[in-house]
Structure 1
C-alpha cells in the first residue's frame, strides 16, 4: 500500500508530477537526499522536535516505521481519557500521518506540529496572510508559510477523518525570535546520532524538566482559523487546478497509491526541480515533463528563459532564450557617472551570446583598470563561515542569531605577490564565538588601511548583526569593537545607517559590472566564476576537487540542495555561502566524536576556507590582467 503522507502531500503542493518520480532510486535521478541525519545537521528540525516534546512532558512515544503496528499502538493509547503521544500514527484509507505531539483531553485533541522555521509569535496572526489580499478582506496564506500551514491542514484533515468524534485544535510550534533563552547549554542537550540500524536518533543530555529548560523559546500558535478556511475553501491558494483542498487530497492520494503520473503544467518553477539532473544512467523527470508538453530531445538541450540571470518570465510561447528579441527585453542606460554593466545590460549580454552561439568572454579591461585604480595596497581578501541555529547555545541569545565561527584572510602587495595572512576558527561545543571572532579579525586587518574584499554581501551582513549583539552585551571592549566594525561595513538604513571609510569592496559586484563568461550560465557565484577564470588561464578549473571531502558520502552540489531547502526562513544568503562548512560545524556541535575526529574536521574546514579566499585572489589577478603566483 502506498500512502499519501504529509511529506508526499507537501511534494504534491510543489508539483503533483513529482509524486510519480519520487522514491524510485533505481529509475529516476534525484538530486535531493533522503538522509535524516544530514537533514538534522542542516536544519535542526530534529532538535526542535525533541524540544517540543519536552515542553509537553510525560508523553508516550510511538516508535517504529511499520504503518499498521504504529497505527494500532496509537489507537490503543487514544482509548485513555487523557494522554500525550509523541509521533502518533494516524491512518485513514490511503492517507497516513505522524503527529509530532498529540495531546488528548477527553474529547478534545491538540495537534502540535513542530517546525524549525523561525517566526515572531506576536505578529504571526497577520504574517501568515498575504498582506495585499488581507487589506481587501480576502484570505490567502503567505507564500513563505504555505508549506507549513498546509502541512498542518493536511494532518488535521486526516485526524478528523480517522476520529470524527473528537474536536481537533491544530497548533504550529516554531522557534520564536521574540524570545530569549534563559539557560546555557540548551542546544547541547540534543545530540544527533545513529542507532544500530543507522537511523537518526537524538540523545537527550542532562536535566530536561521544565525548570531546567528555562524560558520556552518555541511558541505554539493556534492555527484553527486558517486551517478552517483551507478546509471550507475560503482560503484562496490554488492547490491543483480547480480542485478544492479535500478533492485535491483525494486526487493526489489516489494517483500516488496507483503509481499513476499526474501531468502538471510546466513553468519557471521547474528550474530548481530535484529531478532535473545531469545523471546519464537514470531517467530525467524534468525532461519527461517537458516532452509531455511537446518539446523534443534536441530542444531540451537549449537554454531556457528561466535559466538566465534574473531571467524574464516565460513570454507566451517563448520558452528558449534564442526565441527572445529586443522587443521582449528593455535594456536601460546607466545613470551619469556609473561605470560598467547594469543588470539589464548584463542580461542582454548573456542573451545575445546565447543567440549568436558566442562562447567568448566579455572583459572590460578599461573599466576594471579604472575600478582597480581606486584600491589601496596591501589588499585583503576575507571569507566567513557562519551558522544560525534554532535552539540557542547560550542564555541571552535568541533563535537563529548569527554565529560566526571561522574566517580566512589572504593579503596581496602592490606587485601582485600574495600569501595566506591568517585564519581563525572556533570548534568548542556550546561556545558563542562572535566576539572573539571580531577581535581576531580586527587584529588581522587593523595594521594598515588597505582595501578589504569580500565576495557577495554575506560578510557585511554578519558584521552588522554582530554590532547588534555587541550593543546588547556587557563586553568591556564593545564600543571599540563596534566602532571598528563600522569602519569596514555599511548599513543602508535611513535611520542610523553608516558607510565606513574603509568599507569592504564586494568583488562579486566588480565581476557583475566588468566580466562575463558564457560558461557561468549567467551566475555570478564564485563557484561558477572561478572555474571559468581558471580555464581561461589553462589551470585546473576545480581546485576544490583535490581537497578531501568534509562529508565522504555527499558532494558539494548535494549539500547545497539540502541547504536550499532549509526550513528556517533565515540566512538565505548564508545558505549559499558554505553549506558544507555550516553542516560540519553542526556535526562538531551536536554529535559525540573523538578528539581525532574533531581535529580532522577542523583541518578540513581550515583548508576549504583558505581556498575560498585564495579563489578570490585568483579572480582578482585575472581581472587585473596578471598571472602572478604567490
Structure 2
C-alpha cells in the first residue's frame, strides 16, 4: 500500500480528481500561486519552535539532514522516549504519513502521553485546519502515540510586537481534542477512499465547480478547465455575475455570453457583453476629459508597495499589518514634462519613517495626486499619520489631494481584452500595449513584490541578490505609476514629454 502524505489526503478532501492528478500527472501542476503562502508558513513555524521550546532541549527533526526514511525511525525513538518536545515528528502508518508541528510530552500516573499542536499562519481556525488535526490525531494514535490533547494554534492579530525578540502571545490555541476523537472512523474511511482513487486507471470525471477554489485554488485548475474553453465567450467574462440569475442560467445550460438576456445584466455588464461580442472598444472621451479637466498642475501619479508579514518584524507592529516599504511617483508639469522619484528601503530596518519623510518631500504642497484604487493608498497614509503624529497634518493634506483613476476607467472605458476586469494590469495593455508587466524581470505583481521584499531583508541574502531584487522592485513600482500617466494621457487627450532626470 502506498502511504499518502497529509497534503495528498487534503488534496483528496478538496477533490478526488486533484489527488489522482497529483499522483499520476504531477507535471500538470501550477504552483506559482503558492510561493508566498509557503514562505509565510515557514516563518511562523520558526517562531513556533521558539515559543514551544520552553525547556531549551527540544528536538527538531529535519528531513534534509536525516533523509526521508530515517526521519520516521528517529521520530519513533523520540516518541518512545518522551523526554523532550519534538518539532516535525513523522509517522508512516495505516496508508498515510504526516508530520506534527509540535509534540509536547507529559506523564500522568507514570504513563507517557502527548500534547499535539498544529500551527497555522491564519488568524482563526478554519475547517481545513480541523481536518488536518483530525488526520494527524488518527495517524499518530495508529502509530502508538497516546495523545491527551490536540490543538490548532493560529495567529493572534491583536498581538503587538515589543521589538525584543519575544513572540510569546503571537499564537492562540484552540483545543479541539473531543472533536478529533469523534472523527476516527471518518479518517479511516477518508484514507480508504483516497487509496481507492489512486488505483483508478483513468482520470475521474469531475467537472469544475466551487471545489476548485476551496479551501485553495487548485493547482490543476488550468488543466481541468480546458474544456470550459468550448464557449467562444464564456459567462466568466461578466464582472460580478453571480447569485440567483447566474444560477438560473447555469440550470438552463446557458454558457455563451451572446445567449444571456440583457435584462439579466447591469448596465456595466451589458457594456462588457456588447464590446466582447462586437470586438469594439467603448470609450467616452468627452466624459473622461470633463472629469479630469478640473484638476490642475503639477499632477502626481503615486503607487505604494507594502509588506504584511504574519510575524511582525518591527517594534509596535502587528501580524499582517500592511507596512509600506516603497513608493514611486511621477510628477507631470503643465508643459508636458515629467520627473520620477522613488523610495525603497531594503535595509531590514523599519522603513516607515523614511517612507513618510520621502513621501512628504516628493509630493509637493499642491496639485492632484492620482492613484488607482484610492482605498489602499488612503489607508496607508492614514496609518502613517496615526503612527507619526508629528507628520499627521501634512499626510492628511496629501490624503485630501488623492484622485482615483479607477472609477473613471470603469465608468467610461472598456476594451474586450480586459475580460471583465478594470485592474491597472488589465486596462494598461489595452491603452498602451508597449508597456507590458509580463516583460518585467522577477517582480510582476504585488504578491511577488512582497515575497521579493522578504527575501531581500533576510540576513542570509547576499548583497548581489539584494541589488538584483532592488532593481526588480524599482522597475515594477515605476511601471505602476507610468501606467497611470499613460491612462491619464488617453483620458485627457494630452501628450507628455520625456522624463527629466
TM beyond 0.5: yes
Partner Cα separation in structure 2 for residue 418 and residue 14 of structure 1:
54
Cα distance, 1:513 vs. partner? 1.0
User: Are residues 34 and 320 of structure 1, via their aligned partners in 2, closer, same or farther at CA, if it must alter by over 3 Å?
Assistant: closer
After superposition, the Cα gap between the structure-2 partners of 1:628 and 1:117, relative to the gap in structure 1 and judged at 3 Å, is same
Deviates more, 1:97-106 or 1:389-398: 389-398
Unpaired segments ≥5 residues, structure 1? 120-127, 129-144, 187-212, 234-243, 278-283, 331-343, 471-477, 490-499, 557-576
Deviation at 1:79, TM superposition (A): 1.4
1:394 match: secondary structure: coil
Distance 1:427 1:34, change over 3 A: closer
> 1:375: which partner in 2?
295
Counterpart in the other structure of 1:12: 12
State the partner residue of 2:317.
397
Q: Gapped runs of 5+ residues in structure 2?
A: none
Q: Note if 1:595 corresponds to 2:449.
A: no
Q: CA deviation at 1:345?
A: 1.5
- 2:273 match: 351
Distance 1:300 1:276, change over 3 A: farther
1:97 aligned counterpart, secondary structure? strand
Structure 2: distance between partners of 1:259 and 1:390: 42
Q: Secondary structure at the match of 2:84?
A: strand
Contact 2:93 2:143 in 1 (8 A): yes
Flag the 1:486–1:16 CA change in 2: closer, same or farther, 3 A: farther
Distance in structure 2 (CA, Å) of the matches to 1:589 and 1:261: 44
Please give the alpha-carbon distance, in whole angstroms, between the structure 2 residues aligned to 1:183 and 1:175.
17
Matched, 1:419 2:358: no
Please state whether the residue corresponding to 1:436 is helix, strand or coil: helix
Tell me: CA distance 1:264–1:214, structure 2 relative to 1, closer, same or farther (3 Å). closer
Tell me the alpha carbon deviations over residues 284-339 of structure 1, each in whole angstroms, 9 at most, x when there is no partner.
Answer: 3333xx5xxxx7xxx52533323432122443122332332135x14xxxxxxxxx
1:32 aligns with 2:12: no
**Residues 338, 496 of structure 2: 8 Å contact kept:** no
Contact 2:425-2:437 at 8 Å conserved across structures: no
1:89 and 1:380, CA in 2 relative to 1: closer, same or farther beyond 3 A?
Answer: same
For these two proteins, the number of residue pairs brought into alignment is 479
1:156 paired residue among 132, 137, 143: 137
* Post-superposition offset of 1:437: 1.0
1:55-93 per-residue CA deviation (whole Å, 9 max, x = no partner) reads 222222223275543222222222124432111111222
Q: 1:519 offset after TM fit, Å?
A: 0.4
Find the aligned partners of 1:245 and 1:305 in 2 and give their Cα distance. Answer: 38
Deviations 1:564-611 (A, max 9, x none): xxxxxxxxxxxxx52222111111112423333322322222222112
Query: What is the CA-CA distance between 1:396 and the residue it aligns to?
Result: 2.8
- Structure 2 residue 63 is the aligned partner of structure 1 residue 171: no
Determine if contact 1:29/1:285 at 8 Å carries over to the other structure.
no
Partner of 2:100: 99
Q: Is residue 466 of structure 1 aligned with residue 384 of structure 2?
A: yes
Give yes or no for contact 2:36–2:447 (8 Å, CA) kept in 1: no
SS at match of 2:396: helix
Alignment of 1:84 with 2:85, yes or no, is yes
State the distance in 2 between where 1:515 and 1:446 align.
30
Q: Does 1:219 align with 2:172?
A: yes
Higher helix share: 2
Query: Is the CA contact 2:275–2:281 (under 8 Å) kept in the aligned structure 1?
Result: no
Equivalent position of 1:303 in the other structure: 233
Give 2:224's aligned residue.
Answer: 285
Whether 1:530 aligns to 2:428 is: yes
Query: Matches of 1:261 and 1:223 in 2, distance apart?
Result: 36
Q: How far apart, in 2, do the equivalents of 1:303 and 1:465 lie?
A: 43
- C-alpha separation between the residues in 1 aligned to 2:393 and 2:178? 48
Partner of 2:116: 111
In structure 2, what is the Cα distance between the partners aligned to 1:623 and 1:517?
A: 14
Distance 2:378 2:23 in 1: 41
Cα 1:226–1:179, aligned 2, differ >3 Å: closer, same or farther? farther
TM-score by length of 2: 0.86
Higher relative CO (Cα under 8 Å, sequence separation at least 6) belongs to 1
**Which whole-Å CA distance do the structure 2 matches of 1:465 and 1:304 have between them?**
41
1:3 aligns with 2:3: yes
2:419 paired residue among 511, 517, 521: 521
- Alpha carbons 2:305, 2:326 under 8 Å: kept: yes
CA RMSD in angstroms comes to 2.8
How far is the alpha carbon of 1:52 from its aligned partner?
0.9
Are 1:410 and 1:613, in contact at CA under 8 Å, matched by a contact in 2? yes
CA gap 1:488/1:84 in 2 versus in 1, 3 angstroms:
same
